[in-house]
Structure 1
Amino acid sequence: MKRPLLFAYSLLVILLVLAGHSQAQSLTVTGRVTGPGGSAQPGVTVLEKGTTNGTSTDSDGRYSITVPPAATLVFSAVGSAAQQIVVNGRTSLDVRLQDAATDLSEVVVTGSRATEGRSNILTTAPVDVISAREIKVFAQTDVSQILTYVAPSFQSSRQAISDGTDHVDPASLRGLGPDQVLVLVNGKRRHSSALVNINGTVGRGSVGTDLNTIPNASIKRIEVLRDGAAAQYGSDAIAGVINIQLKDDTTGVQASSTVGETYEGDGRLYQADANVGVGLNGRGFLDLSGQFSNRSYTNRTGTDTAPLIYLGGNGGNYPGSADTEAKRRELKAQDDALVAQNGYDRKNLRLGQSEARNYGGFLNFGYTLVPALGLEAYITAGATHRTGKAAGFYRLPNQLTQIDATIYPNGFLPFINTLIDDQSIISGLRTRVAGFDVDLSNTFGRNELRFDISNTLNASLPIGLSPTNFYAGSIAFRQNTSNLNFTRHFTDVAALSTLNVAFGLEYRDDNYRIKAGEPGSYATYGRLIAPGTPAAAGAQVFPGYQPSDAVNRSRTNTAGYVDLESDITEKLLVGVAGRAERYSDFGNNVSGKVAARYSILPDVAIRGALSNGFRAPSLQQRYFTNTSTQFVQGAPNQVLTVNNDNPIVRNGFTPGGTGQQGFGIPALKQEKSVNYSLGVTARVLRTASVTVDAYQIDIKDRIVLSSQFSRANATVAAILGTLPVSQVQFFANAIDTRTRGIDVVANNRMELGPGRLTLTVAANFNKTEVRKVNSSSTIDADQTGLQNTLFDRQQRGRIESAQPRSKINLTAGYSFGMFSVEARTVRFGSVEYRDARLDNPGANNGFLFSSIDQTFAAKWITDLTLTVQLNKEIGLTVGANNIFDVYPDKYRVNELNNEQNFAVGALAYNSSRDNTNRGRTIYNPNQFGYNGGFYFARLLVNLPTTK
């Protein structure tokens, strides 16, 4: 990592020195910019063409810029046609902007390798464009949360009590998994997170990309391609592509600072960011961005309904000796007296967003080395350092296998502390050879998570000797991608109107590592609670990675692609793409795509695409291994998460000399998909646009993390043999799914009175069905329910109904003079919780049991902001997210819930290793979280510079 960074920074210094020559004689041009109706136009960008020397208009539409006498000024604003005007020595220049015929359809580059971008209603596939202004106008500051509220097809909610997933938000596009969407930065593949989600959250078993490592101050726009694109970009692009374009045209300093907190008085946010843009005398640009944020935790826990806190020694439940109502009442009275005496707070969980502190920065640089040859060098580099703290389940003082009363006489709430370091660097050269645009690049990325456990103990150590903090190990993922791309636009090929030809090569190297924690975080030291009853081993809440878990695995991938796009006629656009890949660990894959757009009327067109795609199993899914002590109703369970290469998962394993085989699961292979899409685009009355796109995505051999197979099953016991574990889970290509949906987007911008009104309606409706469970002969031959365990109904619920199957976004903005008002309301569709125990209704795990399946109703979340441009340099925004303080439906308490059945009533969807929520989990997090209302204020500063 040090050598490429040193090279990049050395090159940057050299180029900046070369660029520092003196500027020609200049003059200052002033003027006023107005709209079609003559009203002042604040915020219009005024740029010297061919440079990054620019400014923007103030609240009265006035500007001032210093340029050479022969310069050309470019005036541009969203919703208006750009104008280019030659200065010709003038010092005063007024401009009236007109509405653009294509102002509602931003020019995009994602989804096509054409040399020139197209308006997003002129593309063959749907693309959402989120501008820098939209990123800043509302309360959200993390990229994943911004996209959740802006792009209806995108969904991400913060999780609680789910280990590392508390700190890396799982996200999805079109209802699919976090690992089925590809993320690009400046068109180059972004590395994924090191974290694989193994707890009971949305995206369980998947590995996503941590979007929150990218400071929003660095972002020029975000393009969301809602179509399969594996043939164009490679693995992961099943649901679509998110391309984050970084700023490359800013000048001066743009900074903002945000403060806010929830209506409940927690979740306080302090955030500050800045972007510095420097023009390099017409030959290049330098953009530097930085961000700091400090977010405190929120807590929406309920009251612990455990009948016993101090007495009984049965994890909150009555002991077997309390076999009569009189004995239970007596024990309960004694325990209540101790609760009162010790001031014990039964709100003993911390359910909500984690604490997080984030420092991040990005550099985006381009410089023309040899203008005559068009030889340009570019560098994009970023680094993020983020710390987090999240709670686990409370350990009660009567949970004897987990407690040392000499250290925590009243029990304890353990914490998982994370340190996430993320680095990336893109470097490359662009030039023109034999009429082709040539792009040679290398992209390096690395993501590492370190786990430290605090306010905890290792209960197996002798009384009073356990430390209360442990280093539990770390996980890291590294990716290096080299690309050589050729592109050329032809205008004289036979009868074709145009032909764009692109082809190229890619070589990628991936590496995944697990490092063991300190011995005390995972080891057992033999303390017995009673004869034959050992205390729990390892750090409570998160036992550390063991030396047997440690891995250091790599793989390589070589790919070649070709992409053709042609305006066959003025009405018909056709694109064809193909890609062949070879992975060193599982073999070959070929994917292709054909797409077309046809104008049936001047302002109406139909478009569609057919493609097949794939997603390679991640190294995390192939090699993650972990053994942990998990407690179910107070009973310790050693749970083994075993990698797919382990003989337990495969055939031919003979543990303990039993002669039994493993589970017979084949090696992980790529997921394969077929994507269909069909849509219509239209422009209405020049000021409005409408797009409607339907899609179907069939995925075969989708990779999931199985449910936990218990030694209580005879077949499982035979497979596990003498291994010291009671449960096992693993990754497998276990299901085939079909996702169908429709996206609708309508925009309108118009002059209204003294200002401009912008209206947006956007919606996504989708449905995913599990069509087949892919088992094995060993599992199929078993008659005791192993297939249900491989993929149980709770797992099916996470795929089919755990996330909103619909989302509707209604946005209105009105700006006039120095004021602008933005209102947005988003309808998050219903979600469903499914109880896995209904797979086997005859087994109630010792409880009076009835179904706790539950559907959580759709909710509308409304945001409102007011912005005042106090002067040319300073603006102030105040507002609220979730202004009406809406919460999800509460978990329904089971009607049979009573003192004997205290733990049945409100199991969380993201149940953690204890599985004893006892009414403390109130809300489902998967719609929009459960922080409630959040109010904020944001100061924006713009200090443009001129040459």
Structure 2
Amino acid sequence: MKNLLLMLLLMLSGLAAHAQNVNVTGRVTGASGEALPGSTVLERGTSNGTSTGGNGEFSLSVKPDAVLTVQAIGFATQQIPVNGRGIVNVRLVTAAQDLNEVVVTGSRATEGRSNILTTAPVDVISAREIKAFAQTDVSQVLTYAAPSFQSSRQAISDGTDHVDPASLRGLGPDQVLVLVNGKRRHNSALVNINGTVGRGSVGTDLNVIPLASIKRIEVLREGAAALYGSDAIAGVINIQLKDDSTGVTASATGGQTYEGDGRVFQGDANVGIGLGGRGFVDVSGQFLNRGYTNRTFEDTAPLMFLGNSGGNYPASANTEQLRRDLKAQDDALVRERGFDRKNMRVGNSESRNFGGFVNAAYRLGGGIEAYVSGGVTHRTGKAAGFYRLANQAAQSDLSIFPNGFLPFINTTIDDQSAITGLRATIGGFAADLSNTYGRNELSFDISNTINASLPQTSGVRNPTEFYAGKLNFSQNTTNLGLSRKFTGIGPLATLNVAFGGEYRVDRFQIGAGEPNSYINGGRRINVTPTNPNGAPTASGAQVFPGYQPSDEVDRSRSNVAGYVDLESDITEKLLLRVAGRAENYSDFGSNVSGQVAGRYSILDGLAVRGSVGNGFRAPSLQQRYFTNTSTQFVSGIANQVLTVNNDDPIVRNSFNNAGQKGFGVGPLKQEKSVNYSLGITARVASTLTLTVDAYQIDIDDRIVLSSQFAKTNAANTPPVTAIDQILAGRDVSRVQFFANAINTRTRGIDIVANERLTLGTSRLGFTVAANFTETKVRGLNTSSSTINENASLQNTLFDRQQRTRIESAQPRSKINLAANYGYGIFGVELRTVRFGEVKFRDADPARAALVDQTFAAKWITDLSISAQVIKQLGITIGANNLFDVYPDKFRLHPRNNPNNFSVDPATSFSSGLDNTNRNRFVYNANQFGFNGGYYFARLNFTLL
């Protein structure tokens, strides 16, 4: 509360001083940091101006809300809002370069460099690009703007329906580090445990950050563990919040898919305020409401009421005539009861998002600047699971749902973050002391469902809604960094020295749901005099049994790190950087990583750059301690799947004659990586820039979630296999766990070319960007004698379907062709993205010829047309996926091959594709989703 009052007082004092002039001092430098004497600095709209001195310095008295126009021969003019600041340092870039491409990510140098002058490849997505099309969240913006980044929304995957898994260069969501204003961003509480891309990983929820708050996004495409620490194996995404806006801007966006669903409304606003020449406050807010999409079709299961639990003919229906009779009776029941065979919802979940962010700084005096940034987001979502048919008696209660039911998983995600810090110059060093706190909580409420095991009580209907528990992850990071640029150090032209330390505390919690969400109430079905015990019913809420008290976790760990980073322009042609970092984790030990990187100018405008370094990723607390029991459909049958943490006796104990029954897998340890890159940068004909970068990333002891080990025998029968014995006494049919199970190698190449032209009074820009990447599993690791001595268990630990998720379930290539044209008040943005092929492989190699499939590459085209109607109002209309392109259909789909299913309608296929066979899962989601075309309109307002 005190901080809030202080902020309000600062805002009021800034407004009171708004009309007074402030004295602005600063320095104008070129792209390499050289002074630019004789540059012109003007207060826009006035004759008030000055020229810079011999060291590029200037001093000028202007209004607090003035905009400075800074010009120098051979450099692009910059327009810089003062926002009440007293110090404005300006770095000009050559006229051929885009102003937004001066980056700070990937180096701790005191001054940023153009992205073609860095030792590592960096993509820059500006605020203009973020708003050019209709993507309404960060992960989708990056998917279409940065070829090396990939994220697609999932369906029927529990919590993963609500937190999009994302990857960089084809690696996992937990192998890319996210920063905000250069500070580490906390992870999501969710660990992905279902059959999606990123299975077994924990990522960062990018979509809690409002687009209106973002100045630019910098994507560092290089391993950077030596710079930033754990998680930065694939690279770094740094989101820079707005710090230079003035006045009030707002926008409203509405749209829907060509099919008429997936309606979206987004409203956002940004307010920038100067604080009396001593600082600024930038506040942004967003509301986003997204409707669900559904791309399923009528369920083709022959028997919806009379069949077995999969909707197929019972085993007793062994003649054609009996099947025809049963089918006719079932069809009559379908008509009589009004059953809708389009009984699934396969597509985007519903989502409603409220979020706000602030970014502020204030000079306290004595050369000290205080800053604060952070945000609060509240998001609710609703996603469907598998339909429970009327004939699935063990999973339902026909007195409540006579036609079966479609259960829903409702989530509430609350995310908070705060960065506070002080900057000052101490002994010539720029010092930055900060504390960053972040928290992400995900709670589950299950609706339109039932716990089939609960007995009916007299006059009381069983509940159809349950609170199923929550996940919580929090992180607090304290960081001190110092940096200084030296010139004329012996033979070195420049030397930038940076060093510092970090202390971080992580905490992960699981909270249990209400008892009815997970208990077995004892209800049984098919009770007869000859079978007085009846058949058991499923425990817990259907679709998502609640977390149990035995699942509850409250674990913490700490991390201490120190780093040093040296960067030098050894000569005018050679830039060299050396970085090292040492870390110690309280729960598994220490690690040291280092990197050497360089850039050499071969000719004017042509340079070669490269790096080599090692990195690591610590196992997340979620991977170490997550445990639960969930309902997952395997071969069309509901299974109770136990995900057990790595410390559980099931995982740790060895299988021996001493009574220990377990897999004998060792404790989780860090992943270790080695990263190599080599590339060229070029500027051609003064307006065309080109970068080409090749890379190789080797990762050993990569952490994955194992495949599912299944019982062979039913309950209450003697155990036969090792898995039967390990799971004896557990009310589950399958088990999976985390292990350092594989080694991988990723190789690829990134290509980016930009051309920006001025044609009289019009503006024309082109971008060609591409990423080609390939990941291969090089080996399988296991310290388990139980698994090593059994070939079947070895194949199950990491089966071919799991391998495919790592190697080819995401596009191995992506090509982005974009153009923008501006003339007067009008603008046109056109972009087409080629998403490369993806593959599906069945877990069982015996079924490969029947089930395996490759889904062809597709081009997705986006178009937007804008007009600035008046100064205060602009309008944009357009379409994403203009030509309504969908991924290939699963070839086993009856709508594609109806003749394949006319002989024996009882045929069912395993590995989840039986559901595709039944006309419910038609498309592959991992390329670009399957919503088809989407059209939109946006109004942009400038209020002050």
Query: Above 0.5 in TM-score?
Result: yes
Q: Deviations over 1:453-498 (max 9, x none)?
A: 0000111112473201000000000000000111111012111000
State the match for 1:555 in structure 2: 557
1:440 paired residue number: 433
Could you list the per-position Cα deviations for residues 606-637 of structure 1 after superposition, in whole angstroms to 9, with x for gaps in the alignment?
Answer: 00000100111000000000023445456553
Are the aligned partners of 1:632 and 1:916 in contact in 2 as well (CA < 8 Å)? no
Question: Are 2:486 and 1:487 aligned?
Answer: no
What SS class does the counterpart of residue 686 from structure 1 fall into? Answer: coil
The within-5 A match list for 1:94-109 is: 100-103=95-98, 106-109=101-104
Q: Distance in 1 between matches of 2:849 and 2:599?
A: 53
Question: 1:271-311 CA distances to partner (integer Å, 9 max, x unpaired)?
Answer: 00000000112211100000001000000002211110011
Partners of 2:569 and 2:97 in 1: CA distance: 19
User: What is residue 691 of structure 2 aligned with on the other side?
Assistant: 691
Shift of 1:891: 0.5
- Does residue 831 (structure 1) correspond to residue 830 (structure 2)? The answer is no
Structure 2 match to 1:399:
392
Structure 2 matches for 1:564-579, cutoff 5 A?
A: 564-579=566-581
Q: In the TM superposition, what is the alpha-carbon distance from 1:325 to its structure 2 partner?
A: 1.6
Residues 804 and 83 of structure 1: CA distance in aligned 2, closer, same or farther (over 3 Å): closer
SS in 2 for 1:929: coil
Match of 1:389, as an amino acid?
K
Alignment of 1:472 onto 2:468: yes
Q: Secondary structure at the match of 1:253?
A: strand
Give the structure 1 partner of residue 649 of structure 2: 647
Give the Cα separation in 1 of the matches to 2:638 and 2:272.
57
Q: How far apart, in 2, do the equivalents of 1:783 and 1:25 lie?
A: 80
Residue 338 of structure 2, aligned match among 340, 343, 347? 343
Matches within 5 A, 1:305-704: 305-370=300-365, 373-463=366-456, 465-530=461-526, 531-633=533-635, 635=637, 637-652=639-654, 659-704=659-704
Q: Residues 863, 471 of structure 1: CA spacing in aligned structure 2 closer, same or farther, 3 A cutoff?
A: same
**What's the CA shift for 1:898?**
5.1
The one-letter code of the counterpart of 1:401 is A
CA–CA distance in 1 between the matches of 2:483 and 2:795?
51
2:581–2:594 contact (8 Å) kept in structure 1: yes
Matches within 5 A, 1:103-118: 103=98, 106-118=101-113
The residue correspondences of 1:746-825 to structure 2 (distance < 5 A) are 746-825=753-832
1:643–1:71 distance in 2 versus 1, CA, 3 Å: closer
For residues 659 and 884 of structure 1, what CA distance do their matches in structure 2 show? 63
Asked if the contact 1:459–1:466 (Cα under 8 Å) also holds between the matched residues in 2, the reply is no
Query: CA–CA distance in 1 between the matches of 2:3 and 2:439?
Result: 17
| Partners of 2:80 and 2:554 in 1: CA distance | 59
SS in 1 for 2:381: strand
Whichever residue aligns with residue 700 of structure 1, its letter is: D
The offset of 1:99, in angstroms, is: 7.6
Letter in 1 for 2:817: L
Query: Matches of 2:393 and 2:66 in 1, distance apart?
Result: 79
Q: 1:133 maps to which residue?
A: 128
1:658–1:718 CA contact under 8 A, matched in 2: no
Q: Which runs of 5+ in 2 are unaligned?
A: 23-40, 49-60, 83-91, 527-532, 713-719
C-alpha contact (below 8 Å) 1:611/1:676 kept by paired residues:
yes
Structure 1 residues 18 and 940, CA gap change in structure 2 (3 angstroms): closer
Shift of 1:567: 0.2
Matched, 1:877 2:876: yes
Report the Cα distance in structure 1 between the residues aligned to 2:188 and 2:942, rounded to whole angstroms. Answer: 34
Distance 2:67 2:412 in 1: 49
Give the partner amino acid of 1:626: N
Match of residue 85 from structure 2 = none
Displacement of 1:343 in angstroms is: 2.1
Evaluate the alpha carbon distance shift between residue 628 and residue 679 of structure 1 in structure 2; reply closer, same or farther with a 3 A threshold.
Answer: same
What is the CA distance between 1:70 and its match in structure 2? 13
How far does residue 315 in structure 1 lie from its aligned partner after superposition? 2.9
Contact conserved, 2:294 with 2:346, CA < 8 A, in 1?
Answer: yes
Match for 2:640: what amino acid? Q
SS in 2 for 1:785: helix
- Superposed displacement of residue 400, structure 1: 1.0
* Structure 2 residue aligned with 1:227: 222
Q: Residues 620 and 915 of structure 1: is their aligned pair in 2 closer, same or farther, counting only changes over 3 Å?
A: farther
The equivalent of 2:52 in structure 1 is none
The total of aligned residue pairs comes to 882
Show the counterpart of 2:933.
933
Please give the alpha-carbon distance, in whole angstroms, between the structure 2 residues aligned to 1:907 and 1:652.
30
Distance 1:885 1:374, change over 3 A: same
The question of whether the paired residues in 2 share the 8 Å contact of 1:404 and 1:459 is answered with yes
Aligned match of 2:530: none
**Other structure's SS at 1:648 match:** helix
- Report Cα offsets for 1:56-99 as digits up to 9, x if no partner: xxxxxxxxxx954997822699x971258999xxxxxxxxx998
Deviation at 1:254, TM superposition (A): 1.0
Identity %: 69
- Structure 2 partner of 1:42: none
Q: In the aligned structure 2, how far is the partner of 1:7 from the partner of 1:85?
A: 32
The answer for the alignment partner of 1:58 in structure 2 is: none
2-structure distance, mates of 1:487, 1:600 = 29
Map 1:716-755; keep pairs closer than 5 Å: 716-755=723-762
Q: Residues 763-809 of structure 1: CA distance to partner in whole angstroms, max 9, x if unpaired?
A: 00000000001123424443351111100000000000000000000
Q: Secondary structure at the match of 2:651?
A: coil
Q: Which amino acid aligns with 1:756?
A: R
CA distance in structure 1 between the aligned counterparts of 2:392 and 2:916, rounded to whole angstroms: 12
Q: Which residue does 1:43 correspond to in 2?
A: none
CA distance in 2, matches of 1:542, 1:904: 25
Alpha-carbon distance in structure 1 between the residues aligned to 2:658 and 2:665: 19
Task: Provide structure 1 residue ranges, at least 5 long, that are not aligned to the other structure.
Answer: 1-5, 28-45, 54-65, 88-96
d(CA) in 2 for partners of 1:155, 1:423: 25
CA contact (8 A) 2:414 2:441 kept: yes
Question: What secondary structure does 2:317 align onto?
Answer: coil
Q: Deviations over 1:306-355 (max 9, x none)?
A: 11001134331211221222211111110011112222111111011000
Q: CA RMSD in A?
A: 2.6
Q: Is the 8 A contact 1:418 1:449 kept in 2?
A: yes
2:857 aligns with 858
Query: What is the rounded CA distance, in whole Å, between the counterparts of 1:375 and 1:201 in structure 2?
Result: 48
Pair 307,209 (structure 1): closer, same or farther in 2 beyond 3 Å? same
Q: Report the equivalent of 2:144.
A: 149
Contact 1:708 1:728 (C-alpha < 8 Å) held by counterparts: yes
TM-score (norm 2): 0.90
| Equivalent pair of 1:401/1:459 in contact (CA under 8 Å) | yes
